[in-house]
């Protein structure tokens, strides 16, 4: 039976994503009503600049007092798309206290304070949904915490930032340098005027924290995620990758240790084989590769950012939360029962590609090989080229810990025959 009283929604933020959420709520109102089982009414929109023209939104709904809006008491769901830590955190907790469930796209806040927000939602018997916080329109969080709830997830590895993937793809396909590719990304609107959050891996690290927490039923905060940006990746690195049959991606990697007793979460550039599904992800698209015991290997692919894709994820959560509201139930909350320790980066084991500038004379390779052996790092392949007394030595290792590799590189720098370490890159996906 259709409920006639509308569910009231407060929208916090009306930028690229918020305005698209409002538009879809208006243009798809009948479909949303049919899917939810009750009408959905936009009851208020909190913004910082009320004088800006917002097409399709009744000016009477606009307010600059977000706190008063979430305190109204008749609001059923608060949609938070303003981003940042404050005032978003205070507004979300206030919404719970005054009887509203929350849909958020705020990856930074959830990565930093997700546990506290989940606790507040549980305390007040309300929902906290945030599909849009990771990978835009790609259904990922709900499959991890619902569809795969009966499985054991061992690894989540993916491209979760469209800006960096566009830049690296452009460098790979055209031979452009980093700055040239970044300039094109900025001109096309893929990169912000200040791209630091993207290119230095902060955005991807927040998403990795959220994914690891859900996948491994363990609280993983932003500070637990190792982060390395991609600003030092060069055309020479891509040339080396191509010689290995690889390309380079900025990856978010969350995985269980081999013994299952701990987890790791990290973001960094890595070479991956061209045969791996993630290698074919082009432009500003995102893709996440999930490995589990029973389901095996799954890949989720699609647009990871933008107003419409992100709004699609927000509306999906809004429908789910409204259905719960009508049924007098709540959806799954935080699952952190496993409470596994998060291991430091030094414990991570992977392969490495190391490029060294060395003197072109007899015995250099033997010296370098000895250093690797002394630190317990096994060499897979070596390639040496040079002339006029200078040479380049490229070493690809078998799997080794980050700590062992760090010790190896420190020892290599002390050799008189090693002029410098041109680059170090991890090799993943094998």
Burial of 242 (0-12, 13-18, 19+ CB in 10 A): middle
**In contact, 356 and 386? CB cutoff 8 Å:** no
**In contact, 110 and 314? CB cutoff 8 Å:** no
Separation between Cα atoms, residue 405 and residue 376, nearest integer Å: 9
- Quote the tokens at residue 191: 């990169």
CA dihedral sign, ordered 13, 18, 24, 26? positive
Neighbours of 382 (CB within 10 A): 13
B/e letters for 211-222, b = 16+ CB within 10 Å, e = fewer, are bbbbbbbbbbbb
Active site residue 107: no
> C-alpha 382: how far from its chain's center?
34
Separation between Cα atoms, residue 424 and residue 3, nearest integer Å: 61
Of 107, 126, 207, 249, which one is the catalytic site residue? 207
- Quote the tokens at residue 420: 């410098």
Radius of gyration of the chain (CA): 24
Task: For residue 266, give the 3-state DSSP assignment.
Answer: strand
Separation between Cα atoms, residue 149 and residue 38, nearest integer Å: 29
Residues classed as catalytic = 207
């Amino acid at each position: 039976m259709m409920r006639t009283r509308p569910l009231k929604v407060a929208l916090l933020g009306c930028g690229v994503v918020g305005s698209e959420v409002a538009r879809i709520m208006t243009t798809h109102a009948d479909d949303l009503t049919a899917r939810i089982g009750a009408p959905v009414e936009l009851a208020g929109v909190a913004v910082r600049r009320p004088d800006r023209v917002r097409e399709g939104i009744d000016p009477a709904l606009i307010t600059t007092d977000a706190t008063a809006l979430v305190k109204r008491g008749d609001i059923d769901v608060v949609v938070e798309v303003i981003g940042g830590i404050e005032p978003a955190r205070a507004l979300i907790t206030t919404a719970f206290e005054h009887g509203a469930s929350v849909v958020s796209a705020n990856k930074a806040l959830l990565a930093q304070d997700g546990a506290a927000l989940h606790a507040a939602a549980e305390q007040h018997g309300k929902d906290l949904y945030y599909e849009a916080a990771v990978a835009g329109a790609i259904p990922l969080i709900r499959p991890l915490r619902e569809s795969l709830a009966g499985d054991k997830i061992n690894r989540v590895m993916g491209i979760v930032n469209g800006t960096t993937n566009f830049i690296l793809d452009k460098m790979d396909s055209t031979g452009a340098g980093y700055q040239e590719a970044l300039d094109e990304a900025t001109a096309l609107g893929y990169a912000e005027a200040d791209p630091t959050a993207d290119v230095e891996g902060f955005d991807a690290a927040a998403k990795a924290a959220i994914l690891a927490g859900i996948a491994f039923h363990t609280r993983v905060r932003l500070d637990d995620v190792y982060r390395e940006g991609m600003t030092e990746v060069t055309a020479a690195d891509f040339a080396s990758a191509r010689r290995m049959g690889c390309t380079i991606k900025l990856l978010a990697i969350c995985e269980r240790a081999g013994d299952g007793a701990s987890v790791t979460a990290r973001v960094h550039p890595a070479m991956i084989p061209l045969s791996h599904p993630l290698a074919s992800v082009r432009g500003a698209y995102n893709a996440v590769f999930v490995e589990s015991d029973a389901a095996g290997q799954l890949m989720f692919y699609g647009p990871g950012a933008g107003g419409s894709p992100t709004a699609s994820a927000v509306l999906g959560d809004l429908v789910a939360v409204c259905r719960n509201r009508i049924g007098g139930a709540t959806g799954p909350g935080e699952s952190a029962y496993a409470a596994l320790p998060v291991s430091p980066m030094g414990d991570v084991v992977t392969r490495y590609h190391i490029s060294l500038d060395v003197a072109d004379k007899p015995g250099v390779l033997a010296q370098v090989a000895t250093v690797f052996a002394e630190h317990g790092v096994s060499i897979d392949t070596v390639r040496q080229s040079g002339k006029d007394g200078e040479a380049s030595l490229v070493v690809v290792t078998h799997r080794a810990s980050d700590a062992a590799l760090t010790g190896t590189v420190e020892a290599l720098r002390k050799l008189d025959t090693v002029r410098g370490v041109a680059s170090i890159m991890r090799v993943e996906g094998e």
